[in-house]
Amino acid sequence: MHSDLFGSIGLAQRARQLCSGQDVVREALVARRAFLLVLATDASERTVRTLGAVAAQADIAIRQIGTMHEFGAALGKPDRAAIAILDRGFAQSILEKIDRELSTNEYGGG
């Protein structure tokens, strides 16, 4: 379903322009090294609230899509609730893919 999106996330991981895991992501957000925060749809409410607040305070784009299992699979790691994209170009590309997918799903397009 999200193959193009998660392919880009995997590419960002291989280019070392992504971090994952709540503590590391929080550090990147606080240091304003991230350009995009992506949260899994099945992340805990506390994780979404906490990381979302830090990202919002730093004026970092936030999106929620996919599952923790999908994030982990894309990264070759155990399930992940959150990822932060550390490169502006990757962030813009991934953001566009997420927004396109969300608008397609929202309006029932294909």
CA distance 8 to 108: 23
Paired with 38 in beta bridges are 63, 83
Give the CA-trace dihedral at 6, 8, 9, 10, to 10 degrees.
Answer: 90
Predicted confidence band at 1 (pLDDT cuts at 50, 70, 90)? very low
Please tell me whether the overall predicted TM-score, pTM, comes out greater than 0.85 for this model: yes
CA distance 58 to 30: 7
Write the CATH number for 53. 3.30.1330.30
Percentage of residues in the chain having pLDDT higher than 70: 94
Q: What per-residue confidence (pLDDT) applies to 106? A: 56
CA distance 24 to 100: 28
Per-residue pLDDT reduced to its tens digit, 30-71:
999 999 999 999 999 999 999 999 999 999 999 999 999 999
Q: What per-residue confidence (pLDDT) applies to 93? A: 95
Residue 104 reports pLDDT greater than 90: no
- Give the total number of structural domains in the chain: 1
The residue segments making up the domain with residue 58 are 3-106
CA distance 59 to 45: 20
Predicted confidence band at 102 (pLDDT cuts at 50, 70, 90)? confident
Per-residue pLDDT reduced to its tens digit, 70-81:
999 999 999 999
